[in-house]
Amino acid sequence: MTDPIDRPGKIIAIHLSYASRADQRGRRPASPSYFFKPASSVAASGGTVERPAGTELLAFEGEIALVIGTAARRVPLGEAWAHVGAVTASNDLGLYDLRANDKGSNVRSKGGDGYTPLGPRLIDAQQVDPAALRVRTWVNGELRQDDTTAGLIFPLAQLVADLSQHFTLEPGDVILTGTPAGSSVIVPGDVVEVEVDAPDAEGAPSSGRLVTTVTQGDVPFDGELGSLPAVDDLQRTEAWGSREEAGLPPAGAAAPESGISPALRAKLLEAPTAGLSAQLRKRGHHSCFIDGVHANIPGSKIVGTAKTLRFVPFREDLFASHGGGYNAQKRAFDAVDEGEVIVIEARGDATTGTLGDILALRAHARGAAGVVTDGGIRDFDAVAEIGLPVFSQGAHPSVLGRKHVPWDVDITISCGGATVQPGDIIVGDGDGVIVIPPALAESVADDALAQEIEDAWIAEQVAAGHPVDGLFPLNAEWRARYVAATGTGDRR
């Protein structure tokens, strides 16, 4: 078959289908999941694809494309392959810089013009074994992908049968069946070639090599119209294929970006905020509390350095100039580093949301330790499901613009009555959230943990029936007993 593929009615792509790719990603789906690509993304062999200005993570994905030959609606698995007319090569190109903004739909990240090259020749599907097809991809002549359909988690016929349960697959529709391990980033000037063949079939039919050359675009995205490209270490890892390929340190390596050493972080995670605040009070710090906030996930604890975000009261002209586009709120969530806590000044106004599930997802992907806001949050349950700890005044369904204008980031702010500067240490648990000046953190943590040991011993004595008078706090007699029993020095 040599008829060109011009304008499919539907292009359906699967998220993850090869075992080698699933192992690379560290997750294996129980069932196939899909997304649509626009017909305008189709391109022929020998064409170009543009990497848009301001982006860095355009990636290739060599795939086997199925072209539906006869209409399929609710077909059983055993009959599904009979509805496939042809097989060919495809390149499911994607721009990871835009992926996080579409939460799996891939509308912008994989829908660009030229992002679905197909061809150049069609293989008669009924003349090949769907379990014995091969897909290979070369970049600048170097073989990058080489796998067969024997490595699929979901057989090709299953995809046809599954999709036909939900809508009619029509002649000319295209199913992109997933990419194996080896997909990676390409840059302007790279030439990508994808070939699908059936090496064990009679005549070893082949699609020929599908050739695409990467070019550099010069038109940036307009932030006034929608979300802008943004990347983080997760997207870099998945685009390149591994942290090593992306030039990142191994997972679990010490990350000094947060400003808290691993040893200090461990102490702060162990010490309760009640004990830490008591030690701050002993040092003359009485305004360390972010009042009125509670955790969205019961039992959660946050430790991190502050990244600050300030909202000012709503005003029509200021919201027009600062509320839309790539505003301060979006910039803060796009730039938060691993181990940081986004702290938001919302003037204690709980009658509107200050973040929702999209921004929470972004912060979680960036490795943020949590968010503290003295306002409300939207999508309360969805944010909790993401797993990002958020301390706030509670849920509220309204949007930010009801009361606030996103104004500035990385400045000194007021949150819940406490002054917070960028780099301050934030600790939160079931008792609330406190702010610790970085210079005091080590000594405060050490003394709080020592006090915990002392308090535990006192609790044992009370449980044994001793009265609290003289025991809590320890008088001279009881302290001598405590030192003798525990071998602890006198901490007074």
> Binding site membership for Mg(2+): which residues?
379
Exposed e or buried b per residue across 71-101, where buried means at least 16 C-beta atoms within 10 angstroms of its C-beta: ebeebeeeebbebbbbbbbbbbbbbbbbbbb
Taking the C-alpha atoms of residue 354 and residue 10, their distance in angstroms, rounded to an integer, is 39
Q: Which of 436, 444, 449 is nearest to 305 (CA)?
A: 436
The answer to whether the CB of 179 falls within 8 A of the CB of 192 is no
**Exposed/middle/buried for residue 260 (C-beta within 10 Å: 0-12, 13-18, 19+):** buried
State residue 104 phi and psi, 5-degree precision.
100, -15
Query: Rounded to the nearest 10 degrees, how much is the dihedral formed by the CA atoms of 397, 398, 403, 405?
Result: 110
Rounded Cα–Cα distance for residues 407 and 318 (Å): 9
Gap between the Cα atoms of 213 and 139, Å rounded? 10
C-alpha distance from residue 131 to each of 81, 172, 191 (Å): 11, 22, 29
Short-list 406, 413, 373, 404, CA closest to 390: 373
- For residue 246, the number of C-alpha atoms closer than 13 Å in the C-beta half-sphere is 23
DSSP 289-345: EETT-EESSTT--EEEEEEEEEEEE--HHHHHHHTSSS-HHHHHHHHPPTTEEEEEE
Strands 134-139 vs 174-176: parallel, antiparallel or unpaired? unpaired
How far lies 224's CA from each of 287, 320, 405, 478, in Å?
A: 40, 11, 16, 68
Continuous H helices in 387-440: none
Q: Which residues are annotated as a binding site?
A: 356-359, 378-379
The annotated binding site for substrate is made up of 356-359, 378
Nearest by Cα to 170 from 65, 37, 34, 69: 69
Q: Is 433 helix (H, G, I), strand (E, B) or coil?
A: strand
Measured CA to CA, the distance from residue 262 to residue 248 in angstroms comes to 19
User: Tell me, what amino acid is at 196?
Assistant: V
